[in-house]
Structure 1
Amino acid sequence: MYKKAYGIIETLAPLHVGASAGEETGNLNLIFRDQFTQTGIIPGSSIRGRFRADMREYNPQKVDFWYGREAGDRDEKKQPISTTEALVKFEYASVVWLPVYCPNQPVVMVSCPLLLKRYHRITGGKDGFNIQPYMHSGVNAQKLFFNLGFINLGEKADSQLTYYKKCAGTFAQKYGFVVVNDADMSLIHDMSLYRQSRVKLKEDEKIVDDKAFFNVEALPEKTILVFPLALRRHYEEQDPNDEKKKIKKDVKWDDYTQDSGWPIAKTNPTSHNHDINAKEFYFGGLESIGFGRTEVNLHNSTEA
């Protein structure tokens, strides 16, 4: 019923998707988290909204066709139009690799079996999933020291981790990769988050304006995330020769990417073979102070 694909997101700046940063006082603006690993996510609604907004700017006449009509839309005669189902579907983006500071590395890309298993399923990996905690690649040490203690590494598994490393890009390839236990991932994730305290000052004095102090957290730069998307195989169109008949037509990824204005396909030897070149998107809040810039690539889920 659906044609499957997936997207890889690489953060180029701290990414905050969660509680908004408005005029709150004494508020800690947390990011959205996965319910099992407690690692940061980008909700599917946020991804869809950004993609839709991009198409609205590039190709506004095609927005309703791909993303469906919204409630309240009206036709040329100002009459209400019924909502329609979107042809393209989005799910949430989860972490694949998270950069974590480690004094003797100095950066290690960390993940856990639960997150890698989701990546394996989304990307259509055909080999049996055999990733175990404390496997590592590119780490020249028997143990790693994080802020809260030591982790003893297990098997060096370059070949097993190759499939999962290739989405990480040129930056991450210079550093080690470590798979930790699912139970440890939440703590290590919180340890690696980018945090910033912000205040509102009084207009005439350099002091905080009546408790206008809050903190914000964000996924760090160079975090890698994955999200699935799907395309309905068919849509119905009115038969020009018969008002009572509709014609079923195929839906193609090429049509969607062309209408979305994605760059021409090109191979990137340092990462996946990209079906679509990278596009830069801003996700989440605090864009005006440098948060949220990412690079997104789309791929066929059958790609190995």
Structure 2
Amino acid sequence: MNINLQHLYLIAPLHTGGTTQEGNLLGIARESHTNFPYIPSSTIRGKLRSSQSDDALREQLFGNELKDGKPTNHGKPDDNDNAQLTQGDIWIGDGSILWLPIPSLSHGVVWVSCPLLLHRYARLAEKTFKIEEYLCKFKNDKTQIYLKDAIFKGSDLKEWPNWKEAVPGAATQGIDHVLVLPDQHCGTIIQMGLWRQVKIKLDSNKTVDGGFRYEEAIPPDTLMYFPWGLTSQAKNSEASEKALQAMLSKDPILQIGGQESLGRGFVQSFA
């Protein structure tokens, strides 16, 4: 199976709703086995599907849907009693974090990742690069890295001369300080680095109705990616692959996860 990767560089905070809400904190979608934030494949697929105005091509790529209780055919309800829902030619995977920015008193911003996230990306991208803990761009035994809520000794750091191999494409222009943390530490640091927006509810008189609410989001300047490819039952393999590639390259700016009126969820997309 041929797997394609599409990278996402977050221009604004991105929130995709989670399944739980603790107290006044509205959580974000998380992987059940790692607790890392992610973008559900259904969110990405829904966005791409809605952006395709050609009914026939949309159904070719993503399958038909129900309308007025009947499966659609070129966007209209099919009156054929034997009409069924069909599977599209394209599958879309979940969006995963590759590098996430963390404030640093010593280096401004440091992008962090971990072996688990890097191995996952390397497998899908069919790449081979050095992956171990405490690799960084800035090796110096006297240098300590002060992250938002953690300090890492310079004597523990290992120089990573070929770090750009793990930072694909155009993103290397913005990401200039990277650090690979152990999996368990990376999870903690990412949790502390999430964007949290305070919200309040106003009544008709514009006065506060209730208390404050906090909403989590993946911070801007995070580098993510999602895999996609052809389903095993694709009928127009070559045409469908080219069509989705054209969709992704036509408009490199996508809006994912809602709150468009607040400027949330905008990402720069590149292969």
TM-score range, shorter chain: 0.7 to 0.9
CA contact (8 A) 1:139 1:176 kept: no
Distance 1:235 1:255 in 2: 13
> Is the deviation greater in 143-152 or in 94-103?
143-152
User: What's 1:70 paired with?
Assistant: 65
Distance 2:24 2:157 in 1: 41
Distance 1:19 1:8 in 2: 22
Shift of 1:105: 0.8
Distance 1:25 1:182 in 2: 25
Code of the aligned partner of 1:149: A
Code of the aligned partner of 1:295: Q
Distance 2:184 2:78 in 1: 58
Distance 1:168 1:34 in 2: 27
In the superposition, the TM-score normalised over structure 1's length comes to 0.77
Q: 1:118 aligns with which of 117, 120, 123?
A: 120
CA contact (8 A) 1:12 1:294 kept: yes
> Is the deviation greater in 40-49 or in 2-11?
2-11
Distance 1:3 1:147 in 2: 40
Matched, 1:100 2:88: no
**The residue matched to 2:71 in structure 1 has which SS?**
coil
Query: Aligned pair in 2 of structure 1 residues 232, 70: CA closer, same or farther (>3 Å)?
Result: same
CA contact (8 A) 1:109 1:172 kept: no
CA contact (8 A) 1:122 1:227 kept: no
CA contact (8 A) 2:10 2:266 kept: yes
In structure 1, runs of 5+ residues without a counterpart are 237-248, 264-277, 299-304
Distance 1:35 1:77 in 2: 39
Matched, 1:294 2:267: yes
User: What's 1:241 paired with?
Assistant: none
Count residues with an aligned counterpart: 259
In structure 2, runs of 5+ residues without a counterpart are none
CA contact (8 A) 1:3 1:233 kept: no
Code of the aligned partner of 2:44: I
Over the aligned positions, Cα root-mean-square deviation in angstroms equals 2.6
**The residue matched to 1:118 in structure 2 has which SS?**
helix
**The residue matched to 2:187 in structure 1 has which SS?**
helix
Shift of 1:250: 4.5
User: What's 1:192 paired with?
Assistant: 193
**The residue matched to 2:121 in structure 1 has which SS?**
helix
Distance 1:255 1:205 in 2: 48
